[in-house]
């Protein structure tokens, strides 16, 4: 972890523009020399039990529509959820959504997918914890020699099969810089490799009506409450996926034992932030989930152990979609999360956010350091409760500086996305 330098960071943020101006050169018509509109096939949508994973897809669609406004976009979605499908169709009516299974050898069972690959000028693999759509990329390589690339992925491990695919990529944008080292160590021959933040940073969907109704019913006033998100060290997928997620009884027992060892250690620190906020401000706390299973651990880990004078100021929210979450986060004073993506959704909404990183949660947390957020990411194994409370108080006691810091982060994201799109355009128009 880098040394703290909050004053310098906030001073830089205060002089930065509140929003980045997107160069008109990056938003010119997406047409070839023959005047034909370019078509982009996006592979994304890995699972729908996590608002962060859901947000990857609309985030990337927004990036493409902002920077390549005249492009035609087809979404090849991996996961199936009617609620998420409605969310995407409502907010991206011009994006065609298709589905189709792919074998490990890259064989496609859908004529609609084959037609989309024929129509597309380029394929882009969306943000994720790994190259989740590796088989989709293999299918593209089997079917066409047109370009493809990866936008905002973590790539922690590369086996020979994945290397053979990555070597063919025209661009690889990793969502943190540690993946760049993995790519370098594996001597990947992709044409362009660079840091390109997780597409969730451009998640722009909202549901103000639903959010306002909840806030009214819960008695929550704008910027007079904070949001907190729990998380176990290992996600218990055996409780979420069919057939126990394919986990053995031994693996389930090991994961439960590890989670039991750390759950109170971790969440006791977040409870101290909740206590400090309520006693300092008289404000309220909303405990909310990023993943479905977290609804079941809220009481045990974040509510029941609280002092009696604090409990009346604490409320909870069931599982939701990311558009409502974004609308709630935009009205919060700050967001404190053990999960990685709720802080990102909140940052886009303009809200100061803390990522409480557990070491089991992969290398993706490096992205916070890469964007200069050293003071708002905490490595939980090396963090005491008083450190977390101290930095939290700095935010709510000097809110204008904190808001300026958020603007600075998003300005950096905008500039990086501009660089990524420039590389994509070079492939579309070469």
DSSP state letters, 187-214: T---SEEEE---GGGG-----HHHHHHH
Q: How far is CA 7 from the centre of its chain?
A: 27
Residue 17 has a pLDDT of 37
Low-confidence ranges of the chain (pLDDT < 70): 1-35
DSSP helix/strand/coil, 423: helix
pLDDT at position 429: 84
Looking at the DSSP bridge assignments, the partners of residue 193 are 172
Q: Using alpha carbons, select from 159, 192, 54, 153 the residue that is nearest to residue 364.
A: 153
> In DSSP terms, which residues pair with 378 in a beta bridge?
356
Total Cβ atoms within 10 A of residue 178: 19
> For 179-229, what is each residue's pLDDT tens digit?
999 999 999 999 999 999 999 999 999 999 999 999 999 999 989 999 999
230: which residues sit within 8 A by CB, 6+ positions away?
267, 270, 287, 289, 294, 297, 298, 301, 302, 338
Q: Where would I find the beta strands (DSSP E) of 105-207?
A: 122-125, 148-153, 171-174, 192-195
Question: In this predicted model, what pLDDT tens digit does every residue of 234-257 receive, in sequence order?
Answer: 999 999 988 888 999 999 999 999
Residue 32 pLDDT: 56
* pLDDT value of residue 254: 97
Tell if the pTM clears 0.85, that is, is over it.
yes
* Pair 144, 189: CB distance under 8 Å: no
Angle of CA points 146, 131, 43, to nearest 5°: 55
pLDDT of residue 104: 83
Q: What is the pLDDT of residue 30?
A: 53
């Amino acid at each position: 972890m880098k040394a703290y330098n909050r004053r310098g960071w906030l001073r830089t943020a205060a002089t930065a523009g509140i929003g980045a101006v997107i160069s008109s050169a990056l938003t010119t018509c997406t047409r070839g020399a023959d005047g034909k509109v370019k078509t982009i096939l996006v592979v994304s949508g890995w699972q729908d039990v996590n608002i962060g994973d859901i947000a990857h897809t609309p985030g990337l669609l927004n990036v493409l529509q902002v920077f390549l406004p005249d492009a035609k976009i087809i979404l090849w979605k991996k996961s199936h959820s009617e609620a998420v499908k409605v969310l995407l169709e409502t907010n991206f009516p011009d994006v065609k959504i298709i589905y189709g299974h792919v074998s490990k050898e890259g064989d496609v069972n859908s004529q609609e997918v084959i037609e989309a690959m024929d129509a597309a000028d380029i394929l882009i693999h969306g943000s994720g914890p790994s190259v989740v759509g590796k088989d989709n990329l293999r299918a593209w390589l089997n079917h066409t020699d047109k370009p493809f690339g990866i936008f905002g992925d973590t790539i922690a491990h590369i086996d020979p099969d994945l290397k053979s695919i990555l070597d063919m990529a025209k661009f690889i944008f990793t969502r943190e810089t540690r993946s760049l080292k993995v790519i370098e160590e594996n001597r990947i021959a992709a044409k362009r490799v660079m840091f390109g933040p997780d597409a969730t940073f451009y998640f722009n969907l909202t549901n103000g009506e639903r959010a306002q109704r909840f806030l009214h019913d819960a008695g929550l006033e704008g910027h007079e409450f904070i949001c907190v998100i729990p998380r176990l060290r290992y996600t218990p997928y055996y409780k979420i996926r069919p057939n126990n997620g394919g986990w053995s009884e031994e693996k389930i027992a090991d994961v439960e034992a590890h989670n039991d060892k750390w759950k109170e250690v971790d969440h006791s620190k977040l409870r101290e932030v909740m206590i400090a906020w309520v006693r300092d401000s008289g404000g309220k706390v909303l405990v909310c989930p990023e993943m479905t299973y977290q609804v079941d651990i809220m009481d045990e880990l974040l509510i029941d152990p609280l002092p009696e004078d604090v409990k009346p100021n604490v409320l909870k929210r069931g599982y939701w979609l990311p558009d409502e979450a974004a609308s709630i986060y935009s009205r919060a004073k700050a967001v404190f999360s053990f999960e990685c993506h709720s802080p990102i959704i909140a940052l886009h909404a303009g809200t100061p956010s803390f990522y409480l990183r557990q070491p089991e949660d992969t290398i993706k947390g490096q992205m916070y350091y890469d964007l200069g957020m050293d003071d708002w990411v905490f490595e939980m194994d090396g963090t005491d409760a008083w450190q977390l409370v101290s930095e939290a108080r700095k935010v709510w006691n000097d809110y204008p500086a904190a808001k300026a810091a958020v603007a600075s982060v998003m300005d950096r994201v905008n500039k990086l996305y501009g660089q990524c799109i420039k590389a994509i355009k070079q492939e579309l128009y070469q």
